[in-house]
Structures are given as structure tokens and as C-alpha cells.
Amino acid sequence: PVLVVDFGAQYAQLIARRVREAKVYSEIVPHTFTVEQMLAKDPAAIILSGGPSSVYAQGAPFVDPALFDAGVPVMGICYGFQAMAQALGGEVAQTGLREYGGTEVEVCEAGVLLTGTPGHQTTWMSHGDAVHRAPDGFEVLATSSGSPVAAFEDRSRRLYGVQWHPEVKHSAHGQTVLEHFLYDGAGLAPDWTPGNVIADQVAAIRAQVGDARVICGLSGGVDSSVAAALVQKAVGDQLTCVFVDHGLLREGEVEQVERDFVDATGVNLVIRDEKERFLTALAGHTDPETKRKIIGREFIRAFEDAAREIVESAGEAGGEVKFLVQGTLYPDVVESGGGEGAANIKSHHNVGGLPDDLQFELVEPLRTLFKDEVRAVGLELGVPEVIVWRQPFPGPGLGIRIIGEVTAERLDTLRAADAIAREELTKAGLDREIWQCPVVLLADVRSVGVQGDGRTYGHPVVLRPVSSEDAMTADWTRLPYDVLATISTRITNEVADVNRVTLDVTSKPPATIEWE
């Protein structure tokens, strides 16, 4: 892999993504890794990321000069560039002069990094210190008003660096600079493609699983579907998928999994109708956390029942169920400590959080991938687009979108309103623009309306369209008024108990995306 050394700012993930966009596989490692630990990963190249610090700050992350003697191509970016200059005997000055945002640099020598880019170009900078003298053996490629040395390279030792952030789109030729480093500086080929990812993962899954049996909890979402499709491709009928229908699903979801997913993958699927179990357990409860806990608990019980039955029937066929498929993604791995050490099942996982005492070994074929890469792999595997491009839907489902007690009748009402909103948003071509649009039923609120000749006394629903990158923060989406009007008219006409449609115009924070 290309290793991206994370100096603690938010840039490392972005750099890793840009390297992958150049079709070269990358992994993030913490800056606390020693040179031996890095070399143990047999890196094809190393990129030192930006960071928040000055190389002179107390406790500033340090770069071991031995890294530059290992014969591995290295590129330093921003903080990484300065740390590299300092480690190799260049001069980094504390100027106190900050360059921040769009900054023009002047190219004095194109070298490898800047070949084919304009003599004056806009870059995105964010730094206080500046490199005043390049280390011996380095050629200066560019300067800016605040950075006498804004880029340098030593081709014979394959060491490169830029003061700016090539991974940020505001750097006009950033991706070109990164690609020059990867292809020309480090001699790498752009061969990391969805097809190759699938071939590698299929081989890895076969090696891990052997001829044992595997189960997978399917939620209908992107991650568990693509993970299941990969495992299916690798070990075929050794895999059984379990889909728990808890009755809190949206219209058409069971059918979508049953029809589209099975058609596309040929996977063994067990659908468990557990609607009664969940309704009974939820009866009388209105507190959001209580409802979430009940749903989580019942989900686990239902899954355990299913697993037990599969183990029993597989027992007769002579196979042991040893493995559980999880759709863990790379950001989860990075956030829980760089992927070193044991895997843990996250409680926020989209199947609702399976217990870790389930006594299965985990198969996690997506743990090196970002979400958009999972989608590309899914499309390549033939997973239907309706599943690959599905918007997020919470494990507890409609249960946390009915404010008040969950009943079968209220679920029907909300399901109908939600189906109309989704249909109209799809028709308006807005599905990829919005992150998701929960529809929330205020089941304990009533308001007066007039319809036909009569007075109504019904419930409001709330539309909650949000735009987001990662659901950590979100803004409310400015939907076109005519789309809102159509949704409102249709819901109040077609859904018996609803006589009012309202719009949630709150960002996150302070609100969360879901109402409970």
C-alpha cells in the first residue's frame, strides 16, 4: 500500500481517498508508528500528511530521519513537508506570517511533481512556519510570497514535498501533483480498481472461511448487501443471509431484498417475520431511549433464534456455522485505532448492533473501503442500483419516527406518508442530492383541518430533508417549493389520518437528523 501518515488533522482521510481516486491502494497509519512498523507493511510509497502543529511546538509529532534512508519514495504535505525539511537539514523558520486559503505559487522548475502545470497556480495553504532553505540535494520547484520554498524534490532519493494541500479541491492542480508523485515519482501503476478489489477479497474470504458455513444479518442497506454479495461470490451456498422483518420497515423493503437482491446474487435468504414480537414488546412505550433499547434487544433475540435454527439444520448437513459477516467500513476501522488489533462490533452498526458474545469469527470484506468505494464494488458485483444508492435508514426504522407509542395502525399511516415523500423526491431527481428525508409522525399531536365539507382532527407529519457528508453534521435541504407542495397535497389527500404537513428547518447541531 501507499501509507498515509496521519499527523492528527483531518487531512489524512482525504489524502487516502485522493490516492485511491488515482487507483492506487492507500492505508492510513498513525504518526506514532515507528519506521520499522511502517516498513513492515511493505509500503510502495509514504505520504506525510498535514497537521495542526508547528514543527517547533512542544510535543510536535516527529519524523524519524531513518524513514528517508529506507529507499521508499516519500512525499511530505504541509506539516509533513516542513517536518521532512527539518529532519533532512533544511531550514524551517518561524515567521509568524500565516498563509491561509487560496494562495498563488510561482513555479521555478517543473521537476517531476509540477510537470505540465501552469507557471502560476492557485494552491490552498494553511500554515504559519515556512521552509526557508531546502535540504542539500533538493531542488526548489516553487515559491510563494510567504514560502521561499513552497515545493521541492530530490529525484535521486525519490523524496518530494509541497507546502500546500494538493488533496483539497481548491488547489487547482492538486490531483495532478499527487498523481505525478504516485506514477512518476514512485513508479506506481493505476491498477486498484473495483474488479481487482473483488478478486482480492474473494481470495481472502475463501482463505479465511475454508469450507465452513457463514451467516450474515442483512438490513437491506448498502453495506450489509455488498458484504453479503462479496461473500456469496466467494463461497456461494456456504452463506445464509438472515433478514429480520421487524415491521418497522418502509414500504417495499422486504420485497426489495427478497426480489431484487436475491435475483442479482442468488444468495440463500431467510426472512423472519417478527412483526408481532416487536409490536408486543413496544406496546405502551413512548420514551425514545426505551424504544431504541427494546428494538435493539428484540433484534438480537430474533437474530439469535435464526442463527440457532441455521446451525441446527446445517448440523445435519455436516457443516459448522463458524463465521458472521459484518459490513464494517474503513472509517470505523481508522476511528477505532488504525485497524491494528481485534475487530469489535459497533453498536451503531446498521443491522442494529449484534452482541459480541455470538461466538462467531467475523468476516469483514469491506473493512478497507470507504462508502463510495463500497458502492463501486456493489455495482461491479451486479447489486441492483436501488440498493447500492439507497439512502441511510436507521436500524430501529419507523419505530423512532413515530413520536409516541408505536402501533400497527400508526405504522401503516407513517409508511403511506413516507412512500409518497420518497416517490416524489425520486421523481424530482433529488435522491442523490439529499442525504435522507425522514418523515416523522407526531402521533400524540392533533390539529384541526377542513377537508371536503367537513372538519378533520388529524395528525401532523414532519418532513426532515437533510444534506450531509457523513451524518455527523447536517443542514436542512432547501427543497423546491413545488416539490414540497406536491408532497403535501398528496399526503393530506391520500393518507387518512394526516391533515397537516410541516417542514423541519433545523440543522444538526443543534437538532439530530432523526427525531428520537
When the beta carbons of 212 and 511 are compared against ligand XMP, the nearer one is: 511
| 51 assigned binding-site residue | no
| 219 assigned binding-site residue | yes
Of the candidates 78, 216, 241, 437, the residue annotated as catalytic is: 78
Instruction: Report how far residue 424's alpha carbon sits from residue 431's, in angstroms, rounded to the nearest whole number.
Output: 10
Q: Is 470 in the site for ligand XMP (CB under 6 A)?
A: no
Instruction: Report how far residue 288's alpha carbon sits from residue 389's, in angstroms, rounded to the nearest whole number.
Output: 29
**Helix, strand, or coil here: 290?**
helix
**Helix, strand, or coil here: 241?**
strand
Instruction: Report how far residue 481's alpha carbon sits from residue 291's, in angstroms, rounded to the nearest whole number.
Output: 34
Tell me the closest approach of the beta carbon of residue 439 to ligand XMP, in angstroms.
12
When the beta carbons of 185 and 394 are compared against ligand XMP, the nearer one is: 394
| 144 assigned binding-site residue | no
Helix (H) or strand (E) holding 131: strand 130-133
Q: Is 348 in the site for ligand XMP (CB under 6 A)?
A: yes
Q: Please confirm, yes or no, whether 167 is among the known catalytic residues.
A: yes
| 220 assigned binding-site residue | yes
Of the candidates 31, 127, 153, 165, the residue annotated as catalytic is: 165
Q: What is the residue-wise DSSP string for 198-244?
A: HHHHHHHHHHHHTT-EEEEEE-SSHHHHHHHHHHHHHHGGGEEEEEE
How many helices (DSSP H) and strands (DSSP E) are in the chain?
Answer: 15, 23
Q: Please confirm, yes or no, whether 108 is among the known catalytic residues.
A: no
Q: Is 144 in the site for ligand XMP (CB under 6 A)?
A: no
- Strands of the 45-48 sheet, one edge to the other: 26-30, 2-6, 45-48, 74-77, 159-162, 151-154, 139-143, 99-107, 120-127
Q: Which candidate, 206, 180, 192, places its Cα nearest to that of 369?
A: 192
Tell me the closest approach of the beta carbon of residue 35 to ligand XMP, in angstroms.
39
Distance of CA 1 to the CA centre of its chain: 20
Q: Please confirm, yes or no, whether 459 is among the known catalytic residues.
A: no
Of the candidates 167, 179, 253, 274, the residue annotated as catalytic is: 167
When the beta carbons of 436 and 499 are compared against ligand XMP, the nearer one is: 436
| 224 assigned binding-site residue | yes
CB atoms within 10 A of CB 92: 20
When the beta carbons of 185 and 220 are compared against ligand XMP, the nearer one is: 220
Instruction: Report how far residue 199's alpha carbon sits from residue 195's, in angstroms, rounded to the nearest whole number.
Output: 6
Tell me the closest approach of the beta carbon of residue 286 to ligand XMP, in angstroms.
17
Out of 172, 471, 483, 503, which residue is the one contacting ligand XMP (CB under 6 A)? Answer: 471
Distance of CA 160 to the CA centre of its chain: 30
Instruction: Report how far residue 15's alpha carbon sits from residue 28's, in angstroms, rounded to the nearest whole number.
Output: 9
Site string for ligand XMP, 367-406 (x = CB under 6 A): -------------------------x-xxx----------
Size of residue set near ligand XMP by CB under 6 A: 12
Q: Is 462 in the site for ligand XMP (CB under 6 A)?
A: no
When the beta carbons of 158 and 401 are compared against ligand XMP, the nearer one is: 401
Q: Is 508 in the site for ligand XMP (CB under 6 A)?
A: yes
Q: Is 217 in the site for ligand XMP (CB under 6 A)?
A: no
Q: Which candidate, 240, 258, 260, places its Cα nearest to that of 313?
A: 240
> Residues forming the annotated binding site?
219-225
Residue ranges in contact with ligand XMP by CB under 6 A = 348, 350, 392, 394-396, 436, 471, 508, 512-514
> What residues are labeled active site?
78, 165, 167
> Residues forming the annotated binding site for ATP?
219-225
